[in-house]
Amino acid sequence: MKYLNVIAVVVLLAAGGAAPARADGPFPYELQDGTETAVLGGTALLFGLGRLADRSLEPLTPAEIALLDRQSVNGFDRGATGRWSVGARKASDIMLVATAVAPLGLLATSRGSQQPSTVGVMYLETFLLQGGITYLLKNSVARTRPFVYNDDPSIPADLKSSRTARRSFSSGHTATAFAAMVFTASVFERLYPDSPARGWVWGGCLAAATTTGYLRYAAGWHYPTDILAGAAIGAFAGWVVPRLHEIDDLVPGGRDKRGAATFGVSLVF
Model confidence band, residue 24 (pLDDT cutoffs 50, 70, 90): low
* Highest mean pLDDT, choosing among 17-26, 33-42, 133-142, 177-186: 177-186
Predicted confidence at residue 93, as pLDDT, reads 97
Beta bridge partners of 256: 250
Q: Is the dihedral of CA 61, 63, 64, 69 positive or negative?
A: positive
Q: State the Cα–Cα distance between residues 220 and 269, nearest whole angstrom.
A: 31
Measured at the CA of 170, the angle between CA 166 and CA 176, to 5 degrees, comes to 120
Measured at the CA of 123, the angle between CA 267 and CA 179, to 5 degrees, comes to 65
Contact assessment for residue 14 and residue 109, using Cβ atoms and an 8 Å cutoff:
no
Q: State the Cα–Cα distance between residues 116 and 132, nearest whole angstrom.
A: 24
Which domains, and CATH codes, for the chain? 35-268 (1.20.144)
Model confidence band, residue 23 (pLDDT cutoffs 50, 70, 90): low
Residue 86 above 80 pLDDT? Answer: yes
C-alpha distance from residue 80 to each of 3, 146, 154, 244 (Å): 23, 6, 16, 37
* 2 vs 91, residue with greater confidence: 91
Q: What is the mean pLDDT of residues 154-162?
A: 96
Closest by CA to 98, choosing from 1, 7, 203, is 7
Closest by CA to 89, choosing from 177, 227, 219, is 219
Residue 259 above 60 pLDDT? Answer: no
Q: State the Cα–Cα distance between residues 100 and 127, nearest whole angstrom.
A: 9
Using one digit for the tens of pLDDT, what is the confidence trace for 196-236? 999 999 999 999 999 999 999 999 999 999 999 999 999 99
Predicted confidence at residue 4, as pLDDT, reads 44
